[in-house]
């Protein structure tokens, strides 16, 4: 007698489990729940993992750049304008923040392209795009520049701030793009820097990019 007494013709085959399709929005909700749970665990006395939790912001920034570069590259080839529209920022801001690493510490392209003829409207928009936030993030929202200790200005903002402050009366309507915090910090830069330093430890302000010599930072209006 055969050891195999099962008759294949009479035994139904087990059904294959249907492949579950998870929407990206479900992944998003799941990731957010995990992060909130992680934060609660640390807040509940787990001080040894505080540094690891805070470091996630840097990793998330790197992952966001990888995602954007995937969308911008083959086979999708989304334009920088399409990417910027989804992020609610300017095309130049998206390109500088998520583009090639060699461009992130350089001055904003709008300044380099305008040169001596830069307008107050352009200065105001660039200032708004590179404003670090309150409290400041770990990287510039406009170009992705990683702030050193005790610094909350990227090279672009360090160049634009004094220029915009000195020329603010030339076109007051251009300042309408600034939020309340941005407007207040423009008129009280020392206070802004002190507030930013609360998040960080001691160092010095970064030197502006050498190309910032296109603009006179000593108080002289380049238009004169």
Q: Which two tokens stand for residue 22?
A: 């998870």
Q: Which range has the worst mean pLDDT, 37-51, 58-72, 194-208?
A: 194-208
Residue located via tokens 């640390």: 42
The rounded distance, in Å, linking the Cα atoms of 95 and 19 is 38
- Here the tokens at position 170 are 């030339």
Place of tokens 């990683």: 146
Q: Quick: pLDDT tens for 2-47.
A: 556 656 666 666 666 656 666 888 889 999 999 999 999 999 999 9
- Residue-wise pLDDT for 94-125, tens only, equals 877 787 765 556 788 888 888 889 999 999 99
């Amino acid at each position: 007698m055969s050891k195999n007494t099962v008759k294949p013709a009479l035994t139904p085959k087990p059904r294959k489990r249907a492949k579950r399709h998870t929407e990206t929005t479900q992944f998003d909700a799941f990731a957010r729940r995990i992060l909130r749970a992680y934060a609660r665990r640390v807040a509940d006395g787990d001080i040894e993992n505080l540094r690891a939790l805070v470091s996630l912001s840097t990793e998330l920034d790197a992952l966001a750049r990888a995602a954007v570069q995937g969308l911008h590259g083959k086979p999708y080839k989304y334009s920088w304008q399409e990417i910027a529209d989804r992020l609610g920022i300017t095309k130049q801001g998206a390109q500088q923040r998520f583009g090639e690493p060699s461009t992130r510490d350089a001055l904003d392209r709008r300044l380099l392209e305008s040169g001596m003829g830069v307008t107050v409207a352009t200065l105001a928009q660039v200032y708004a795009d590179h404003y670090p936030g309150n409290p400041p993030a770990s990287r510039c929202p406009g170009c992705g520049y990683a702030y050193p200790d005790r610094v909350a200005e990227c090279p672009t903002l360090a160049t634009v701030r004094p220029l915009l402050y000195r020329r603010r009366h030339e076109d007051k309507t251009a300042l309408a793009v600034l939020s309340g915090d941005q407007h207040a910090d423009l008129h009280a830069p020392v206070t802004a820097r002190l507030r930013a330093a609360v998040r960080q430890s001691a160092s010095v302000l970064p030197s502006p990019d050498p190309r910032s010599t296109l603009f006179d930072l000593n108080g002289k209006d380049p238009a004169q």
